[in-house]
Every structure is written in C-alpha cells, then in structure tokens.
Amino acid sequence: MRFTLGVKSDPILYRYSYPWLFRLMADLGVRHLQLGTFFEMYHVPDSFFRRLHAQASDHGIAISSVFTAHRELGGYFQGDEWVGVARRNQERQIEIAALLGARSAGHNPGAVLRDRIGTKAEGWATYVHHQRELLHYAHSLGVPEVTIEPMSCEAEPPCSPAEQRQLMAELCEYHAAHADTAIPGYCIDIAHGWAGRDKQIRVDHWGLLEAGLPWCRELHLKNTDASYDKTFGFSPDERKKGVIDAAATRVWLEQRADVVPVQELVGYLEIGGPKLGRDYSDCELEGLLRTSLEHLNEAWLGGSKARGLQPASNIQWPATSGQWPATSGQRPATSGQRPATSGQRPATSGQQPAASNQRPATSGQQPAASDQRPATSSQPVLIAPSLMCADQCHLEDEVRRLESTGCDVLHIDIMDGAFTPNLVLGFEQLKALRSRTALPLDVHLMVEDNDLFVRLAKAAGADWVSVHVESCRHLDRTLATIRELGMKAGAALNPATPPEALAYVLDRLDHVVVMTVNPGFAGQRLVPSGLQKIRDMRSWLDHRDCHVPLEVDGNVSLAHIPDMVAARADILVAGTSSVYMPGASRADNVRLTREAIARGLERRHGSGARRGVAA
C-alpha cells in the first residue's frame, strides 16, 4: 500500500485564491487536493470548475476528491422539504466531482436534531435509500467512489463501530448486486474519537479507525486533544498538545494493509486555520499549512517522499546533429521519477499531468549533468519554452509547471536595450533558476557586448549560449570562448541575415538559431520568409556536412509547428502561440504542441516518424 499526502481546501475559503493554494502545494510537493464545499458551490456554473481543473493541472495538482465542509446534506435526517434540498445538493456535488475528474465525492451525512433524536431510525432509512440511488448517479457520471465520513457523536451517524458496520453492510450489499453503481466507502478522520455526555471516552480514535478500516478509501489527517474537543494541525506547538501521531498511524495502517481496500491511500490535511477575517490571523495560514505539511511529509510519508529534484531532461540530441561536447554547466542532482496520479480526467479538460510528492530542491549541490535523455522518451524535436512569456511574478512556479509537462529545455532571452529595444530577463533570475531546476538553460543573447555577456551567462549557470552574428564583432573568437567555458555555442541569425554569414565558423557551432521574427518582443507574426529560411538553412548546412541542431525562435505556433518540423527544425522555442497560449493549461498546451510536432514529423519522414514523439 502506498501512502500519499494531500490537502483539503477548507482553510483558504474567503481568505486566499485557489491558485495561491496550488502554488503552495506545488512548492511543498503535495499533489492531491480535496476540494472542500462552500455555500456558493451548488450554484456556480460548470465553467468555474473547468477553469479550476485547468489551474490545478497547470500546477501538477490532481483534484482527487470533493468533500463537504459543512453539514449541508443533513436534510436527509430532518425530513420534509429538507430531504429534497439535500438530494439536489448531493447530486450537484457529484456533478462537480465529475467535472473535476475527481476519484470520489464525499460527505458527512449531517445530524439528527437533538430534540428529535427519536427520529434517527427514520432518518437513517431515508439516507440509505437516497445513497443507493446516488451510487447509480455517480457511476453514470464516471465518479468511481462515494465516500462517507464516520462521525464522533450519536446524533451524527454513523458514529459507533456498530453503526459503521451496519451502514457499509447496507450500501455494499446493494453495490454488489448492482454493477452500475459507484463504490461506497469511508473517508475516515484519524482524529475522531467518541466521548459521551459525561466526557468519558467511549471509543478512542484507534477504535473508530479500526472499525471503518475495511471500507476506508481516503483519510482526513488532523490533530486533536486528549478529550477530542478541539482539532488543529501539526505545527510544533500543536504537536505538543495533540494526541495524534501521524507516523504511528502510518505504521499501524501498514500492519493492516491487507484490510484496506485500496492500493493508494491519500491522507488529506484538514484544518480550519486561524481566526477568519482578521488582519492579524489570516496571514498566519501559510505558516500553519507549511509546518503541518512539512511534518506530514516525514511522518505520514515516512520521509520516503522527501523533497528532491525531478529527473533532469538529459537531452538526447536530434538525429540531424553530431555529437555535442560535454557541458560543464552544473545542475542539481535528481531524485526519482514522478508517480502518476490516480483517477481519470474528464474529457473536456485534457489530461492531468503526472503528479508526485517531489519537487526540485531550492538549494544544495549541483553535480555535473548528463546529456543522455531518459529511455522513456525518444522525441527528436525538443520543446524549449521561452521564459520571457511566463508569469514573471511566479517564475519558479512556472518552471515547476513546465517540468511537470516534460518540456526539454528552458529558453532565456537576455537583452541589453540596445541591440533590441527591450529588457526582459536578467542574470539574477538566471542564477536563481539554476539552483532550482535540472533542465538545461538555453541563453539567447540579444546584446551589443557579447563577450561580456557570455562570461556573465557562464557565471549565472547557463548550459547553452547563442550570440547574434549581427552584433558579434569577433564571431569566431566569441564562439570559441563559449566552448572553452564549457557551454554549447550557438549562432543566431535575424530574418534578413543569410546562411552564408556562418561560412567560416561552422566548426565552432553546436547549434544554429533561426529567427523567424525580428528579435525583442513576444507575440509577433511570422516573417513571410520564415519557413523558407528554415529550409534553406538546413539545406545549406547539410551541403557543408554540418549537422548541428536547428533551433527556431519566433511565432512557433500550433499552426506553424508542423511546417517548421517538416522543414527540419530540431528545437522549438515555444511562446504565447503554443505552450503559453491563453485559455488552456500548460499541460494541455504542451500536449497540443507535441501533436503538432507529430504531424510535422509525419510529413518529414512518413507515418513511421510518430515513434519519435514522447508519449
């Protein structure tokens, strides 16, 4: 059984946005979200949830579960008009789970009114009747599981071990007899213990957990005091007053793995957070989430998912190129593959990227990188997203998202405001990124003083450097210097510059950059001669027995990519008309980019070329 860590979204409600939470989760390597319900949820249109799914996907987050945050389904136990409201709300919750591609739609059943406790049996029958029908509804929408949270007082069934067994007996018997139903199960809160009116403990948290274990499909992770009166998280101060030991719980579950019905058990941190709506308290939420999740990363996951670098892209250069010299650019060490997320994504929203509980480290040593790409990919056309098109306020977050999609190279434009009338990225950003990613950094210099900027690029951690022949006073010497510094040397040509400008430096080149727009700004149209320039450059180089990769930069759009690849482009600098195209997630845009590459490869080599596209 594999243990996975997630977060329930309750504490950000009316405090922070979902993208804020997604960035925090991605930073901590937490890849599963349980979406907590909110009052407006049942009335918000489908478009909101499709957008939310795309935003989560963009950050490598799977919205694996949707779960009630209140007792809004309690109408089953109150009768009259309340039953219809509860039924409509739960149907909508299941629809939302389907829109998000969630594995489960879960809830707590609500409460019997204390002054009408004698109606509990009647409410139980009503509840079971509707749950049986809703198992069909969930299955019809592609939601695999409907989960229920066992509670901790007699007015909120199921509570006692006997009630837990009775409810699952009734629902599982029905599920076994009807193949067109979702799987019923429990989402167990490890901090629930049952105390009576006299505050004496009737069943502790271990007893309630054991009672529901045969039907446990997900968990809520939170802490509580010895009387099960208050709940909180796992910060150092909270652990001192709490009785829940997450590491001991994990070990206990491992010893009973044969009882648990799932192979992957997701535990969602569930905390309410600090006092809502106060300037002095809302700002504390990030710290509480971070400290709790960092503790659970060790205690719940046993340290096995401790944060570390994702695998380097380790490029295998295009088939047209010769052997590239080894680079001395330092890159961080890596630590393992990303496990795929469970649960299928809805067809309307594209594929969810593989997720894991790992992320690149923010500091540490940077051993030399390999130039061999993992055996899982043999794509001969590389995708190099241009970071000038990224969200500059969240640049590291953007890199995480690009890594999760399997992009190959990070393209970084450095300008001086003279050779090009613009200034975008600088060497401090490049230096900061170097310690945070294992992807190769491809620096495109659009400057007048190339020799100065080449050395600055080396000091900042660049792996590849390309200089413009139009501004390079001593092109041969500059290209030689790039190689001597241990980087791959490239020459970039503006649209009007002919291939012949490279005639006497071919032996100094590791790649050639063909500009299909005039340099300086994103979002430009392809120059009319752009595609012909790619074909002419490739032909000119081949006739001189120079088989270095051809990198194309400028309006590399989904519409133009097939033509560019057919013209034998090897590396695509992707920007606002492909990888960063608005209206879709990075994952969906990269998938569309790969599909466009595949169409170009079919035209270049025939239908057999599809084997060269990464899965």
Residue type, 322: G
Residues 203-233: pLDDT tens digits? 999 999 999 999 999 999 999 999 999 999 9
Residues 395-437: pLDDT tens digits? 988 898 899 889 999 999 999 999 988 888 899 999 999 988 9
Lookup result for tokens 């595609």: 531
Active site residue: 58, 397, 408, 553, which one?
A: 553
Q: What is the DSSP string of 194-250?
A: EE-TT--EEE-HHHHHHHHGGGEEEEEE-EE-TTS--EE--SHHHHHH----HHHHH
As a whole number of angstroms, the distance between CA 205 and CA 189 comes to 9
User: Of all helices (H) and strands (E), which one includes residue 534?
Assistant: helix 530-543
Model confidence at 27, in pLDDT bands (50, 70, 90)? confident
Model confidence at 456, in pLDDT bands (50, 70, 90)? very high
Question: How many Cα atoms sit within 13 Å of 552 on the Cβ side?
Answer: 31
Report phi then psi at 535, rounded to 5.
-60, -45
| pLDDT > 60? residue 346 | no
Selection from 71-85, 388-402, 562-576 with the highest mean pLDDT: 562-576
Report phi then psi at 539, rounded to 5.
-65, -40
Domains of the chain: 2-299 (3.20.20.150), 377-612 (3.20.20.70)
Give the mean pLDDT of the chain: 86
Q: pLDDT exceeding 70 applies to what percent of the chain?
A: 86
Mark whether 413 is an active-site residue: yes
| Strand, helix or coil for residue 464 | strand
Model confidence at 171, in pLDDT bands (50, 70, 90)? very high
| pLDDT > 60? residue 377 | no
- What is the value of pTM for the model shown? 0.69
Lookup result for tokens 């295998």: 316
Query: What length does the chain have?
Result: 615
| Strand, helix or coil for residue 403 | helix
End-to-end CA distance of the chain: 27
Model confidence at 37, in pLDDT bands (50, 70, 90)? very high
As a whole number of angstroms, the distance between CA 450 and CA 445 comes to 7
Closest of 578, 470, 559, 564 to residue 516, by C-alpha = 564
Mark whether 46 is an active-site residue: no
Active site residue: 413, 510, 563, 588, which one?
A: 413
